[in-house]
Structure formats: C-alpha cells, structure tokens
Amino acid sequence: MDNKIVFDRIRNDINMNDVVLYLKGSAVFPQCGFSAAVVQVFNHLGVAYKDFNVMEDNELREGIKAFADWPTLPQVYVKGEFIGGCDITREMFASGELQALLQEKGIKMSNAA
C-alpha cells in the first residue's frame, strides 16, 4: 500500500489543527470505549479539537497506524506531534502532564481541571 498520499493528508491535518483525534466513530458517536474515553478527556478540559472517524475511511484507518507506528485507535496529536492512545492520554491527564503540555503549546482549555 503506497502510504505517501495518506501520509501527506495526515501531515496536513495534524499541522492545520492544534489538537486532532483519530477515532473509531465520531466524537459525538464514538464506537469504542477507548475512543470515547479520549473524547471525554478533551471535552472535560474544554479543548477544541478536530476529530476524524477512521471507520468511514479504511485508507486512513490503516495509514494512521503506519504513520505513527502505532497499531491501535484512538490516536491523539497535539501541534502535529503524536501524543499517544487512550492509556497514555488518560495517564497524562491524571498526572497533569496533559494539561501542562497543552498550556505549554498555547492551547486554550476552557475548564482546566
């Protein structure tokens, strides 16, 4: 599978949006508990994000895994950088590292816990 096209697309999306969530399902209707948990963290912090539903786009679903060398969804990107999946996002939220990272990158959190 030639990844160039989908990688270019991904690079564009993660550079055009401060926070990007690649999900199984949409942010409004997540189709998996892990994706729902990641959405919950960012909703709780009041952070604006762009979500992509990989279930509607198989090329993206496989491309994003190759792009990050990460075999599962969801995937979280902040300012173009891969942060991790659900476990890492929740761990960073619990320790406050996620809030610190977002602050450091100048990303607005309307209700930082």
Partner 1 sequence: MAMDAQDIARMIREGVPGAVVEIEDLRGDGEHYAAYVRSAAFVGKSRVQQHQMVFAALKGKMGTELHALAVHTIPVTEQEG
- Window 32-71: contact mask with partner 1 (x via CB under 8 A): --x------------------------------x---xxx
Q: Which is nearer to partner 1, 7 or 70 (CB)?
A: 70
Residues 6+ apart with CB under 8 A from 27: 21, 39, 43, 49, 51
- Residue 2 in contact with partner 1, rule: CB under 8 A: no
Task: Label residue 58 exposed, middle or buried (CB < 10 Å: 0-12, 13-18, 19+).
Answer: exposed
In whole angstroms, give the CA distance from residue 78 to residue 107: 9
Decide: is 12 part of the binding site for partner 1 (CB under 8 A): no
Which residues fall within 8 angstroms of residue 65, CB to CB, at 6 or more apart?
71, 72, 73
Contact with partner 1 (CB under 8 A) among 72, 96, 108, 113: 72
The CA R_g of the chain, rounded to the nearest whole Å, is 13
- Which CB, 66 or 112, lies closer to partner 1? 66
Tell me: does residue 92 bind partner 1 (CB under 8 A).
yes
Q: Which positions lie near partner 1, rule CB under 8 A?
A: 34, 65, 69-72, 82-88, 91-92
